[in-house]
Structure 1
Amino acid sequence: MTTFAGMTPDPRQLSILDFTYPLPAERIAPEPLPDRAASRLLVSRSGVISDKHFRDLPGELPADSLLIFNDTRVVRARLLARRPTGGQVELFCLEPVAPHRSLELALQQTGHCTWRCLVGNGRRWKEGPVTLEFTTTEGQTATLHAERQTQEAGTALIDFRWEPATLPFAEVLRAAGHLPLPPYIARPDTATDAVRYQTVYAAVEGAVAAPTAGLHFTPEILAELREKGFSTGHITLHIGAGTFQPVKADHMAEHPMHAEPILVTAALLRQLLAHRPRPVLAVGTTSMRTLETLFWLGVGLLQNPAGNEPHELLVTQWQPYEQAEAAAHISPEAALTALLRYLEAQGTDTLEASTRLLIAPGYRFRLISGLITNFHQPESTLLLLVAALLGPDWRAVYDHALAHDYRFLSYGDSSLLLP
């Protein structure tokens, strides 16, 4: 089997069938608990497992830890429109296409825009627009028209137009849309979901799925973390629908990872630098992927200096494995410093990039020391990430959770994983 320098085996040769476990349907949490902090917390510390509750988290963390949260906010990306004959068509907004590809600008767009969407119940939607009448958050009557332009690879380009045309598209989604609950929660979204499918620290609109590890935190727990001397920081990764994309390939080499945009401030980069080498814990898999992406973005800048010219800031799916030997001498401090220098040269305080990073067994972590996360689906890239962190111990963690009645997936219980 192929190996990389310091890594074995080659993660591209992994079979997803080796990362499965039996998950009965009744173990999938269909509803959130009324009290976020009442969720259970499985603690795995150097392979030793203990059972706690999430409100116990501050007493279980390594001393002097820095916790990194993903502050993305879920947008109401599901639109239920009607054909002229009355039939319903579901449009799930995935990413903006025109006039802006930037998510921030696309949500500010007024009057019209084009998005790539998943289309549900669209077989009888032959031509012409579908419409959706709604009331704005200020009580104004409004109408959205959607027309299909092209169909490709299971998605469609949808041209949206609305009146009043002065409304930004963000307001259209807020007023007319529905929360995109995960496909394994087979029920309509409710008023409870509008609150509980957002973290209490959500700030930057753009995700179509919640960073579910953060759903357990309460203002009281965050205050207790500060009182106990723990540091916190925020990154933004806008989670796309690809997070639910099943792995259908025999081997991971044939599975394309979805790209997701990330936003990281210079202040956070400086915070990470100042905190080294003390523990950094990722709150959720998206925070972990963002933090590890930062290292590889810095490596890219050091290997191909951009000077004052804009540089494509992207980490590809297999970059860490292919560049492991070349990057062996590059420290996390050097990578973070390279990013700060790049931002200074560009005259900006915010790093905007995208990542396709696949973290799988064989990956060597550079920036994180542990992970707070929920329990993930069998045969998923998220379970691969957990296996990369814990090694073979991931099976003991999931066997214990199943044997001790933990609740699984987005609205389920939590774990603190400290390898």
Structure 2
Amino acid sequence: MKRSDFAYHLPPELIAQHPLAERSGSRLLCLDGQSGDLAHRQFPELLDQLQPDDLLVFNNTRVIPARLWGQKETGGKLEILVERLTGIDMALAHIRCSKSPKPGSRILLSTAEGGEPGPFTLEVTERVGALFGLKTPEGQPLSEILQVIGHMPLPPYIERPDDAEDQGRYQTVYAEREGAVAAPTAGLHFTDDLLAAIDARGIRRAFVTLHVAAGTFQPVRTEEIEDHPMHAEYLEVDEATCAAVAETRRRGGRVIAVGTTAVRSLETASQASGEPRPYCGDTDIFIYPGYRFRAVDAMVTNFHLSESTLLMLVSAFVGRETMLAAYAEAIAQRYRFFSYGDAMFITAGPQAGRRPDPEQGNDA
């Protein structure tokens, strides 16, 4: 398939620049993948879409304040976006500056963009493709530095600096495992009260950990989508979650992934046997139309960028034309898009092929 097959026009004013006053105040576009029928709801009405034997699977990653500013010892200003913590005192990061720093050089960090250098420094240890290895002096935990002077890594389409509100709102209420540099945004709509209401109905919850990397915003640059090099992200799926999925299957319930990161987690863990098995390591699974889903029956997700790998994933779940028609309706109804925007609840379409098939590889 072509990248251009997943293009749509979005009026810029529909890109949400701030969260709503109420975390669960977003709209919810419900899409029946079998019929293509749409219904307009408010997010708390997700409860009405759930059944007692369902299982909701959440990604419990926690966003780190991964954006830093500073300067080279020669004075050149730069911006750092941590991609991945690789140790207590080490990380791989993107560095934006006029001339790339060399291994062995130091970076003098500041508390804000264009600010004067403060007490913290980093050493550039290596160049790894487009990334740079960074290390703190004398083994100082990098997470401590990030907590003091780091900024929340808002996506590039949010055209404003981060502020105090983002510290809480660009984080799910159940975030636990530090390591993401982008939020699993479908989970941003859930409140403690809504989770309590889900529990009260006997609907079960389980968790995976996928540390969302900056590569999630990487555009598809190849016209043939199969040629796109998918970025890798760290993933853990434990035995308890696998057992919860198996029990849901025995009860005849649905496995509902909260966010595309939970979809990718469960599908990665299901590659070997057709059902989730404990998994720990990187995943670069790329899901696009033709993929046969093994683990997921429905999903909660936000709206995704034109021509993005995530739009391709949800299109694989219900069909490209069905998904693009739903997006056209959302635009016509002035839904809010992307990280701080509105959400969808999607049930699998016939294209998803939701029966396990151990013989199938990652892609169709």
For the superposition of Structure 1 and Structure 2, which TM-score range results when normalised by the shorter chain? 0.7 to 0.9
Equivalent position of 2:149 in the other structure: 176
Look up the SS of the partner of 1:36 in the other structure.
Answer: coil
Equivalents in 2 of 1:62, 1:394: separation in Å? Answer: 24
Equivalents in 2 of 1:402, 1:118: separation in Å? Answer: 33
- Structure 1 position 16, deviation (Å): 1.0
Which one is further off, 29-38 or 146-155?
146-155
Aligned counterparts, 1:241-252, within 5 A: 241-252=214-225
Change (3 A) 1:150 1:280: same
Which of 276, 280, 295 in structure 2 is aligned with 1:352? 280
Runs of 4+ in structure 1 over 6 Å off: none
Aligned counterparts, 1:82-101, within 5 A: 82-84=71-73, 87-96=76-85, 101=86
TM-score by length of 1: 0.76
Is the 2:184–2:259 Cα contact (8 Å) retained in structure 1? Answer: yes
- Structure 1 position 268, deviation (Å): 1.2
Which one is further off, 123-132 or 18-27?
123-132
Equivalents in 2 of 1:367, 1:249: separation in Å? Answer: 29
Equivalent position of 2:263 in the other structure: 288
Equivalents in 1 of 2:264, 2:18: separation in Å? Answer: 27
Equivalent position of 1:232 in the other structure: 205
Q: Which runs of 5 or more residues in structure 2 are unaligned?
A: 112-117, 349-364
Aligned counterparts, 1:59-70, within 5 A: 59-70=48-59
RMSD of aligned alpha carbons: 2.0
Question: Are 1:131 and 2:108 matched, yes or no?
Answer: yes
Amino acid at match of 1:78: R
Equivalents in 1 of 2:141, 2:123: separation in Å? Answer: 18
Amino acid at match of 2:69: L
Equivalents in 2 of 1:291, 1:88: separation in Å? Answer: 41
- Structure 1 position 56, deviation (Å): 1.2
Amino acid at match of 1:396: A
Amino acid at match of 1:154: A
- Structure 1 position 23, deviation (Å): 1.0
Q: Which runs of 5 or more residues in structure 1 are unaligned?
A: 1-13, 135-141, 300-330, 341-350
Which one is further off, 80-89 or 401-410?
80-89
How many percent identity over aligned positions?
41
Equivalents in 1 of 2:259, 2:292: separation in Å? Answer: 18
Equivalents in 2 of 1:295, 1:203: separation in Å? Answer: 24
Is the 2:255–2:298 Cα contact (8 Å) retained in structure 1? Answer: yes
Is the 2:68–2:110 Cα contact (8 Å) retained in structure 1? Answer: no
Question: Are 1:273 and 2:250 matched, yes or no?
Answer: no
Amino acid at match of 1:77: A
Equivalent position of 2:18 in the other structure: 31
Question: Are 1:54 and 2:30 matched, yes or no?
Answer: no
Equivalent position of 2:362 in the other structure: none
TM-score by length of 2: 0.87
Equivalent position of 1:157 in the other structure: 133
Structure with max Cα Rg: 1
Amino acid at match of 1:30: Q
Amino acid at match of 1:412: G
Is the 2:79–2:96 Cα contact (8 Å) retained in structure 1? Answer: yes
Question: Are 1:187 and 2:160 matched, yes or no?
Answer: yes
- Structure 1 position 266, deviation (Å): 1.2
Q: Deviations over 1:257-276 (max 9, x none)?
A: 11111112211111111111
Question: Are 1:213 and 2:189 matched, yes or no?
Answer: no
Amino acid at match of 1:36: R
Change (3 A) 1:133 1:24: closer
